Amino acid sequence: MESKTIPYFHSLEMTHPIWERFFQVFPLTLIGSKEPDGNYDLAPKHMAMPMSWQHYFGFVCAPTHGTYQNIQREGYFTVSYPRPQQVVMTSLSASPRQCDDSKPTVTALPTIPSLHGDGIFLKDAYLYLECTLDRFVDHLGPNSLIIGKVIAAHVHEEMLLQEENSEEQIHNHPLLAYLHPRRFATIQDSLAFPMPAGFKR
């Protein structure tokens, strides 16, 4: 049987994960959870997004990670959206745990307490979400999707959407994006999307 190809395209082998072979744009978030010893953890996650037009938020994690286990135990987590100037702090939160399972780099990060649950946010991020656990979607290979119900949301006043001034707003207050694998970008320029006439969500 003749092999099919697409001109100028390279067909990837499906025997290994494909996601390291090209760039993709993601948000970069910090997921906050409470540790068994009463301290708090912040973990960077880029496979993270709203799960509905309603109040649901989800991210990909592994059951072997402390974040998954903390949320399973506590039933609550927070989400912080860092600013571009906080990329180093966000990176530090990914530092490996010590022999005693602690993450001392997290205790060195500036944080503020959440308002409706027992958790923390990264100080000076631009958007905060507080979520209660809704469900796990397990067995996505070695990973799981954690879905939370958003019970509270807090957005910095300078980032509250201004339809009539959105281009200038993003220029003055840039957004942080994660370019997988292993790069990041600052989004400072934007254009209105050309929605077709009669478009409905």
Peptide bond into 181 cis (omega under 30): yes
Q: Check whether 1 has a pLDDT greater than 70.
A: no
In whole angstroms, what is the distance from residue 13 CA to residue 6 CA? 15
Residue 59 has which token pair?
A: 């991210």
Single pTM value for the model: 0.95
In the beta sheet, which residues pair with residue 29? 45
Cα 94 to chain centroid, rounded:
13
Domain ranges of the chain: 24-157
CATH H superfamily, domain 24-157:
Electron Transport, Fmn-binding Protein; Chain A (2.30.110.10)
Question: CB neighbours (10 Å) of residue 197?
Answer: 4
Residue 191 has which token pair?
A: 């254009």
Average pLDDT, the chain: 95
